[in-house]
Structure 1
């Protein structure tokens, strides 16, 4: 099997089509990178919202149980 390019210079020149080849590579990598970045940001935001909601639900449950305990003891709030 023979290599497709004789040197690194030939590889980067892409047989005279370097501008089009590397432009296509760049125009593919930029949206893919943006998609990965957007996904990571959305994941972080979603996890923060879930933690916030769980914290709120714990506070509500704690307040309800505290209110029920004080009413059972006969102490008005």
Structure 2
């Protein structure tokens, strides 16, 4: 992924292992990093944040992060 694309979100219904290289340190990852969890999918997805609301929240956070960083850098230049 091009380095200028800073807002990155990964949604993985499994382990987050390996996704950090794509999302970068400032990216957001929604995943299940536990072994042996068992329940119907709708219950697991709700428990681990695989909801529209949470995915939108994490995406907005990822989009805002570089903007806030840029604004803070501009303030330090004044």
Query: For this structure pair, what is the TM-score category when the shorter chain's length is used for normalisation?
Result: 0.3 to 0.5
Q: Which has the larger radius of gyration?
A: 1
Taking structure 2 as the reference length, the TM-score comes to 0.36
Give 1 or 2: higher strand fraction: 2
Structure showing the higher helix proportion among its residues: 1
